[in-house]
Amino acid sequence: MSFSQSHLLGIEPLSPSDITAILDLADQYVDLNRREVKHSDALAGLTQINMFFENSTRTQASFELAGKRLGADVMSMAMQASSIKKGETLIDTALTLNAMHPDLLVVRHPHSGAVDLLAQKVKCAVLNAGDGRHEHPTQALLDALTIRRAKGRLHRLSIAICGDIAHSRVARSNILLLGKMENRVRLVGPPTLMPSQISEFGVEVFEDMREGLRDVDVVMMLRLQRERMDGGFIPSEREYYHRYGLDADKLSHAKPDAIVMHPGPMNRGVEIDGEIADDINRSVIQEQVEMGVAVRMAAMDLLARNLRARPKEVLA
């Protein structure tokens, strides 16, 4: 099984065999993470720098833990306090980083495309931890691993992605990944929260939640991303919950063994009922967090193998 990439910038450039290579290795790291001694030296001697220009709880913690468990020297830069706030450009930041010789750079940035730009300027492997509304590849990969382990396969499944699709990089990366692996993807939500170029995605769109969830294998809920909204996209949170919040009644339209997912952070009582989120028979939200560490370990391990196999200039 081969992994052909020098960076992990999105799901778009990945082949189905790249995706399978990450998931297969991640399965092994799930086992390692469940042992008492959770340590490997796959990244020993390498330096990993995390740069989060946007707030993050689980993604940053997960990347940090993943690097540490693989033996890398991990540094998380406090971007709030950095020179960026003093007007330094992304390109100057890249030059500064190059001088520090990192091997792996994990970046989250509020602007779509900023991570790709940085990857062109630095001489190391870059992992996109979320750029604007564009992509969040490790989230889609951890979701895929969670689905594959719960359902025993990652093809010919019917998956509903529900809620604020328009502002969601998680939705975009998941649509790309699930499509590449030959699943049927449905988008469910109000028209105001659907992306404008929806026809390009090759998915079915539903405005009614009960219709959209009918007989699906997976229900993936998304947060209302208010920080990316610049107007009234929904009438009120109460009305939104009534029409689109996942509760027992709406979930009863999905298959009886359908799983419930959410990337977090969750707004209970807005897009999901707290009892559904905590129902261990349906919700795999905690598994998603567990798979996140393993998937990030696998992605960094595979990138490091490619990094070691070629001269540094090729990555520039």
Calpha distance 116→120 (Å, rounded): 7
Q: In this complex, which beta carbon is closest to ligand NCD, that of residue 20 or of residue 139?
A: 139
Count H helices and E strands in the chain, helices first: 11, 9
State yes or no: residue 262 binds ligand NCD (CB under 6 A).
Answer: no
Backbone angles phi, psi at 262, to 5 degrees: -160, 130
- Which are the contacts of 36, defined by CB distance < 8 A and separation ≥ 6? none
Q: Which of 74, 104, 170, 175 binds ligand NCD (CB under 6 A)?
A: 170
Facing residues of 162 across strands?
Answer: 188, 221
State yes or no: residue 223 binds ligand NCD (CB under 6 A).
Answer: yes
C-beta neighbour count of 36 within 10 angstroms? 4
State yes or no: residue 5 binds ligand NCD (CB under 6 A).
Answer: no
State yes or no: residue 133 binds ligand NCD (CB under 6 A).
Answer: no
Asked if the bond preceding 265 is cis, omega within 30° of 0, the reply is: yes
Q: In this complex, which beta carbon is closest to ligand NCD, that of residue 50 or of residue 59?
A: 59
Q: Are 43 and 24 in contact (CB under 8 A)?
A: no
State yes or no: residue 111 binds ligand NCD (CB under 6 A).
Answer: no
Nearest approach in angstroms of CB 31 to ligand NCD is 23
Tokens of 187: 């988008």
Q: Are 304 and 22 in contact (CB under 8 A)?
A: no
State yes or no: residue 169 binds ligand NCD (CB under 6 A).
Answer: yes
Residue of this chain nearest to ligand NCD (CB atom):
223
Q: In this complex, which beta carbon is closest to ligand NCD, that of residue 127 or of residue 307?
A: 127
Residues in region 50-69 near ligand NCD by CB under 6 A: 58-59
State yes or no: residue 139 binds ligand NCD (CB under 6 A).
Answer: yes
Residues within the interface to ligand NCD (CB under 6 A): 58-59, 130, 136, 139, 169-170, 223, 225, 263-264
